[in-house]
Chains A and B, each alone.
Chain A
Amino acid sequence: AQSVTQLGSHVSVSEGALVLLRCNYSSSVPPYLFWYVQYPNQGLQLLLKYTSAATLVKGINGFEAEFKKSETSFHLTKPSAHMSDAAEYFCAVSDRSDSWGKLQFGAGTQVVVTP
Chain B
Amino acid sequence: EAEVAQSPRYKITEKSQAVAFWCDPISGHATLYWYRQILGQGPELLVQFQDESVVDDSQLPKDRFSAERLKGVDSTLKIQPAELGDSAMYLCASRADRGTEAFFGQGTRLTVV
- Asked if A46 CB lies within 8 Å of chain B CBs, one says yes
Shortest distance from the beta carbon of B21 to any chain A beta carbon, whole Å: 13
Q: For chain B, what secondary structure do more than half of its interface residues adopt (helix, strand, loop), or is it mixed? A: strand
A56 and B78 CA atoms in complex are apart in Å by 41
Q: For chain A, what secondary structure do more than half of its interface residues adopt (helix, strand, loop), or is it mixed? A: strand
Say whether B105 contacts A43, CB under 8 Å: yes
Interface string of B33-48 (1 = CB under 8 A from A): 1000000111111001
Say whether B48 contacts A34, CB under 8 Å: no
Say whether A105 contacts B43, CB under 8 Å: yes
5 tightest Cβ-Cβ pairs between the two chains A and B:
A105-B42, A43-B104, A44-B104, A43-B106, A107-B42
B-to-A contact residues, CB < 8 Å: 4, 6, 31, 33, 40-45, 48, 50, 55-56, 89, 91, 93, 95, 99-107, 109
